[in-house]
Amino acid sequence: MKAKKAARRLSRRELERLEDERDLALARKARNEKGPSIPWEQIKRELGL
């Protein structure tokens, strides 16, 4: 008998938790980047928001 890979569906809560963890990791990485930061007002202006 061949072993089948069990695929597990993530609940919405689990998926959101994983997304939040990834977002937090990316935000921490961005905060540690060298160089000048761009003010939020400038970003909004450049995007026409």
- Which of the pair, 30 or 20, is modelled with greater confidence? 20
d(CA 49, CA 7): 42
- pLDDT tier, 5 (very low <50, low <70, confident <90, very high otherwise): low
The answer to whether the CB of 22 falls within 8 A of the CB of 14 is no
pLDDT the model gives residue 9 = 84
Question: What is the pTM (predicted TM-score) of this model?
Answer: 0.55
First to last CA, the chain: 59
- Which of the pair, 8 or 47, is modelled with greater confidence? 47
In a 3-state reduction of DSSP, which class is residue 36? coil
